[in-house]
Amino acid sequence: MKRIIIVGTTGCGKTTVGKALSKKLGISFTDLDDLFWLPNWTPRPWEEFTQLIQEKTSSPTWIISGNQSKTRYLFWAKADTIIWLDLPFYLIFYQILKRSFVQSISREKICNGNKQTFKQFFWLIRWLFSSFFRRRKTYQALCYSEEKKSSRWIHLKSRRQVNQFLFYSSEK
């Protein structure tokens, strides 16, 4: 595992897993949200965003997380491992509720100094309901498609599987 992509629906723990793998494997980690969002939740210009992705994935080792389907063509073919976090809906719903509520109250800085608002909290809940099953269907199709067989897929379906994977991941 040297070029790793972490995917899954909103709130499944992509960033948490990415940071843990980065620390364990000594490979730099990038979250696509950090590349996409500028201060004040302003989207980065598309050309600049895609250039940053190309820069981050041009080295021999990297970990990148996110669901930006419009940018897959830039780095998916380079990946040797794709980790799909496919946790149950109820668990992701709980994680989003807890994380977003705490971030909204604490005004914790996320994504380039931006802060979670209650408006975004409700937007995330709505987004989860509208995207969860669609993303699951998409990743299942990609996981088993012939064109994606060049990458090793790791399909993790529970928090226990995620923890076991992180514990036993030691390949450098």
Q: Which of 99, 100, 31 is nearest to 65 (CA)?
A: 31
Return the pLDDT at 147. Answer: 55
Instruction: Please give the pLDDT value at position 56.
Output: 95
Three-state SS across 23-82?
Answer: HHHCCCEEEHHHHHEEHHHEECCHHHHHHHHHHHCCCCCEEEECCCHHHHHHHHHHCCEE
Q: What is the pLDDT of residue 172?
A: 45
The Cα–Cα gap between 101 and 124 comes to 11
pLDDT tens-place string over residues 80-119: 999 999 999 999 999 888 877 777 677 777 777 777 777 7
Residues in the chain: 172
Residue 154's pLDDT is: 92
Q: What's the start-to-end Cα distance of the chain, in Å?
A: 7
Task: Report pLDDT for 146.
Answer: 56
Sign of CA dihedral 40, 21, 67, 151: positive
DSSP three-state, residue 153:
strand
Taking the C-alpha atoms of residue 53 and residue 73, their distance in angstroms, rounded to an integer, is: 11
Residue 70: per-residue pLDDT: 86
What distance in Å separates the CA atoms of residue 27 and residue 62, rounded to the nearest whole number?
Answer: 6
3-state helix, strand, coil in the chain (%, to 5): 55, 20, 25
In this prediction, the residues of the chain whose per-residue pLDDT falls under 70 are 104, 146-150, 170-172
Name all domains of the chain by residue range, CATH numbers in brackets: 3-168 (3.40.50.300)
